[in-house]
Structure 1
Amino acid sequence: MFTHHPNINLPHPDTVVWKYLDLSKFLDLLLSHKLFMSRSDKFEDQYEGTFSEPTFEEIKKLSADNPEFLAYYKTHREKVAVSSWHINEYESFAMWQIFTASSEGLAIRSTVGRLQKAVAPEQHFPQYIGEVNYIDYKKEYIPFDDAFFPFLFKRKSFQYEREIRIITDVTPHDMTLNDGLKIAVDIHQLIDKIYIHPKSENWYKRLVIELLKRLDFDFDIEKSDLESDILI
């Protein structure tokens, strides 16, 4: 269930977004009709869901008389799950390199509006969508008057990700997340087009086409723009 959050910056619904993933994860999405969201403290970036130094100093002062205040923020990371998407009008060579382990990868092209509609049927956990802000963690301040803010800020060295996130918080449900959470999605809303890895072999492209056909999906499958013939 998509819920608009008044404090979260949401780009225009027509903003184009991408998700780069391996075939196994793509098939899991198609077969289960569920989108995997990673627990926020399981990302490679150890700063994920933490505060910048100026904010942390302020929280420490507030925690002097109330130790539970700081403890809440530390454990809260274990209750928040995130699905990351890349904002870009076009394909990104860097994203192919980083998020697909081999040439057997795919990219889902969607829009912010489609993401909103895709998670709308989910009944169990409210979903929030927001754009990540990239800041200097040594100098800049992250507001903490909203529990979602730590998950919408990252260090400037990650600016290339141009990330938009679907976020959920399971704290009200008193449940434990292991690696993450799967939420029900409308696959046809989620996926606009599918792009096949630019370095993939022809047999792999045929396999993807055949798999989609057998699963009764009729998405547009695009040849990667990065695979264009060289003109001399």
Structure 2
Amino acid sequence: MRVPHVDPQFSARPAARTYDPAAMREHYRAEGITERDLAADPYEQFTRWFEQAVASGLFEPNAMVVATADAAGRPSARTVLMKSFDTRGFVFYTNYTSRKGRELAENPYVSLLFPWHPIARQVIVTGTARRTGRDETAAYFRTRPHGSQLGAWASAQSSVVGSREELDRAYGELVDRYPPGEQVPVPPEWGGFRVVPDAVEFWQGRENRLHDRLRYVPGPGGEGWRIERLSP
């Protein structure tokens, strides 16, 4: 009987390694946060922490994990860059035909995670995603580097592409069509989402895994915000 070949990387036996994920841990020494430390609303509190994250030199502090789910509840997540925030919500841009765009069309509920691990902080936003207006989308698109504008046209985001060469060829054709200095139109399937929060959690790492977790939720009757503490 012929014994089938088994690729070693798919063997049931664990590969030899020099590290142990179970032993990897950081002991947080950061000062805690109390309810008295927080601003009256999550937008002002986010502004404070975001400014501190920027001042710390953190790489891409506006990077956030966007978690979505399709109509059947099957989740997916990816990292994108937040491009603006104010009291209306948190904004990012994408191709509306991408996986996240399609899922948000089916199910608008979304979660955002800002993983500021070097400063032992996280911010978690849960809410509803709504498309930004075309004027707002166009205004942001004009601020993007010329190459990024062409990239938005070249990539049918999340779709299967035959090869890297195919993608590069599409981009090269766009470079010829829209040389530097010539205005690039906004792709019709490209635009922004604004996540309107219904809860915002501020997580501060503490010793012995007794972290501080303070969450803003709507106040009575939906007026204002109240703060609740969560067990770590």
Q: Would the TM-score normalized by the shorter structure come out above 0.5?
A: no
TM-score (norm. length: structure 2): 0.26
Q: Which has the higher helix share?
A: 1
The TM-score normalised by the length of structure 1 is 0.26
